[in-house]
């Protein structure tokens, strides 16, 4: 299983707009991705309700994971998106 630990770069955390950006990117990755708080069980990263339900705050560490064969590059892109707190989806997602 591939895994990335990253601190959330959005000051408001994964709420509303940042969560929407993240969920769209996770869905666009084309692979199943899980997201979890550092000490919790993973939820489906492509589910807006599941991501919002985590209650992730800005600066908090999250874990992105996937069992897909080609997960490394997708997780790298998602980790960068989360860490940098980008306001829009990058062209490469």
Q: Which residues are annotated as catalytic?
A: 15
| Number of neighbouring beta carbons within 10 Å of residue 10 | 24
Distance CA 10, CA 62 (A): 12
Q: DSSP secondary structure string, 6-74?
A: EE--STT-SSHHHHHHHHHHHHHT-S--EEEETTS--EETT-HHHHHHH-PPTT-EEEEEE-STTHHHH
């Amino acid at each position: 299983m591939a895994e990335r630990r990253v601190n959330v770069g959005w000051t408001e955390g994964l709420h509303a707009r940042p969560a929407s950006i993240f969920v769209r990117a996770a869905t666009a990755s084309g692979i199943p991705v899980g997201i979890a708080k550092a000490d919790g069980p993973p939820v489906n990263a492509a589910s807006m309700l599941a991501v919002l339900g985590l209650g992730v705050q800005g600066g908090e560490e999250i874990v992105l994971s996937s069992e897909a064969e080609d997960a490394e590059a997708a997780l790298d892109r998602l980790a960068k998106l989360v860490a940098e707190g980008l306001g829009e989806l990058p062209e490469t997602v």
